[in-house]
């Protein structure tokens, strides 16, 4: 296997405090060696070993690839008109999901795979090297299973979200839909999924339904994550912590008890500022969560309704500008935070043994991700040692 030396790195974020300064484990004038799909050496450029290939970063910043722990990439169609109407004053309603469900059911497997692949590629070019993908726009046994098979072609981080909304056919029988989601649909989907998720929100699933769905998923070996407290207060966050979910996602409307539960538990608070941006809603308060000691991740929530962006740099800029995060905290949340939300220790960090997921920025410091919003600063990306 060929080795590659990335040297002359002006500012290297390792996310390992044992390797460098502060929580980001920052090193100046640093170098990295990749061997196949792994990092094998990290340290001062002056003492770097030889390698087969050499990449000169010319003083630029280098960091771990982004870990986007929340996306909905298996869908067809778009919702431009809905966005346009919203920007003229209409409120966001979860019911818009039905529009995408109809388009997704009508699409072929090839069309869905091509669209997901296009978005995964778009994300990769912006530095995302690990991405979670949910089902949730099929809402029949066959359509949910198909979505997860498609997602599995792109990532190991697949999430069964049959409980996105009650399928239109069950509008008059939500209990019957929960039976389907916890029964035959789960049986078909579990072999293709690592995680189980539920949209716990007024208009989607209440606390009791969410508990039944997550518990059934756990019994099949899936690990819970929850769409919680996006549109209003509710039981989602506390349920997530109680069931040992890997993450509670959105966390926009939190009581003090919700914040305390997140701080005391192991569940990561995954913040999705693209959704607040695209629905013109109030942003979650990351400062409050961090001050309480909760673990925070940042993700895109990429989906055609509430957040049609694949850009982690954009989410970092929003988090810094509108959620009270420092540039260091936002970068950490978008890399190591996402890895924690996916219970991964091999990504989101640059240390020997970690996967060689490396991003070079066209900037002297990672701070530029927020300082220069909207500018394409990702210059080079290696995913598992392969240049993207």
Q: Residue 378 forms beta bridges with which residues?
A: 361
329 binds Fe ion (CB under 5 A): no
Q: What's the distance, Cα to Cα, between the start and end of the chain in Å?
A: 18
- Of the pair 43, 203, the CB lying nearest Fe ion is at 203
The token pair that represents 165 in the structure block: 């909304």
Please report, as ranges, the residues that interact with ligand NIG according to CB under 6 A: 96-97, 100, 199, 227, 230, 275, 301, 303-307
Instruction: Kindly tell me which of 145 and 301 has the beta carbon lying closer to ligand NIG.
Output: 301
* Closest by CA position to 324, among listed 287, 368, 371: 287
- SS3 letters across 275-322: HHHHHCCCCCCHHHHHHHCCCEEECCCEECCCECCCCHHHHHHHHHHH
Q: Judge whether 70 is annotated as a binding position.
A: yes
Residue 201 within binding range of Fe ion, rule CB under 5 A: no
Q: Which residues contact 123 (CB under 8 A, 6 or more apart)?
A: 68, 71, 131, 300, 302, 310, 311, 312
Give me the phi and psi of 259, to 5 degrees please: -60, -45
Residue whose token pair is 């979505």: 147
Q: Please answer whether residues 350 and 42 qualify as being in contact, where contact means their C-beta atoms are separated by less than 8 angstroms.
A: yes
How far apart are the C-alpha atoms of 6 and 347, rounded to whole Å?
Answer: 18
Residue 96 contact among Fe ion, ligand NIG, none, beta carbon within 5 to 8 Å by kind:
ligand NIG
93 is in an annotated binding site: no
Closest by CA position to 61, among listed 22, 34, 26, 36: 26
Please report how close the Cβ of residue 302 comes to Fe ion at its closest, in angstroms: 9
For ligand NIG, give the closer residue by CB, 12 or 74.
74
CB of 231 to ligand NIG, least distance (A): 8
Among 197, 285, 301, 360, binds Fe ion (CB under 5 A): 301
Tell me the closest approach of the beta carbon of residue 70 to ligand NIG, in angstroms.
Answer: 7
Identity of the residue, 235 or 305, whose beta carbon is nearer to ligand NIG in the bound complex: 305
Of the two residues 96 and 327, which places its CB atom closer to ligand NIG in the complex? 96
Question: How far is it, in rounded angstroms, from Cα 300 to Cα 183?
Answer: 30
**How far is Cα 41 from Cα 32, in angstroms, rounded to an integer?**
6
Closer residue to ligand NIG in complex, CB, 284/304: 304
Minimum distance of ligand NIG from residue 235's CB (angstroms): 15
User: Which among ligand NIG, Fe ion, none contacts residue 100 (Cβ within 5 to 8 A by kind)?
Assistant: ligand NIG
Q: Which residue shows structure tokens 């049986």?
A: 187
Question: Smallest distance from the beta carbon of 301 to Fe ion, in angstroms?
Answer: 4
Tell me the window of 119-127, 145-153, 237-245, 298-306 that interacts with Fe ion (CB under 5 A): 298-306
Asked whether residue 47 is marked as a ligand-binding residue, the answer is: no
Q: Answer yes or no: is 305 a known binding residue.
A: yes
Q: C-beta of 207: minimal distance to ligand NIG in Å? A: 16
Known binding-site positions for Zn(2+): 70, 72, 227, 301
Known binding-site positions for 4-imidazolone-5-propanoate: 79, 137, 164, 230, 306
């Amino acid at each position: 296997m060929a080795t590659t030396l990335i040297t002359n790195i002006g500012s290297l974020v390792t996310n390992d405090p044992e390797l460098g300064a502060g929580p980001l484990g920052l090193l100046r004038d640093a170098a990295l060696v990749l061997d196949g799909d792994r990092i094998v050496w990290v340290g001062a450029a002056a003492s770097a070993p030889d390698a087969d290939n050499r990449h000169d970063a010319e003083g630029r910043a280098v960091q771990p690839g982004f870990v986007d722990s929340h996306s909905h990439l298996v869908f067809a169609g778009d919702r431009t008109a809905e966005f346009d109407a919203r920007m003229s004053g209409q409120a966001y309603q979860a019911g818009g999901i039905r529009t995408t469900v109809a388009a997704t059911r009508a699409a072929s497997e090839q069309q869905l795979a091509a669209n997901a692949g296009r978005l995964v590629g778009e994300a990769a070019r912006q530095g995302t090297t690990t991405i979670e993908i949910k089902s949730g726009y099929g809402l029949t046994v066959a359509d949910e299973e198909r979505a997860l098979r498609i997602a599995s072609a792109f990532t190991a981080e697949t999430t069964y979200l049959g409980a996105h909304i009650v399928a239109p056919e069950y509008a008059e029988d939500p209990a019957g839909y929960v039976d389907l989601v916890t029964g035959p649909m789960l049986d078909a989907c579990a072999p293709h999924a690592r995680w189980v998720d539920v949209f716990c929100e007024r208009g989607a699933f209440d606390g009791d339904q969410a508990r039944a769905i997550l518990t059934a998923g756990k019994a099949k070996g899936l690990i819970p994550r929850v769409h919680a407290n996006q549109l209003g207060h509710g039981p989602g966050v506390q349920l997530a912590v109680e069931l040992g979910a890997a993450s509670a996602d959105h966390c926009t409307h939190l009581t003090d008890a919700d914040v305390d539960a997140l701080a005391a538990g192991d569940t990561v608070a995954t913040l999705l500022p693209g959704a607040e941006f695209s629905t013109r809603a109030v942003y979650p308060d990351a400062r409050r969560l961090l001050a309480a000691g909760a673990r925070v991740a940042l993700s895109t929530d990429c989906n055609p309704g509430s957040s049609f962006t694949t850009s982690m740099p954009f989410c970092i800029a929003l988090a810094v500008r509108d959620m009270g995060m420092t540039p260091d905290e936002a970068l950490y949340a978008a890399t190591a935070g996402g890895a924690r939300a996916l219970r991964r220790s091999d990504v989101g960090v640059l240390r020997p043994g970690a996967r060689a997921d490396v991003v070079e920025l066209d900037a002297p410091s990672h701070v530029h991700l927020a300082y220069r919003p909207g500018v394409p600063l990702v210059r080079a990306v290696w995913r598992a040692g392969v240049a993207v």
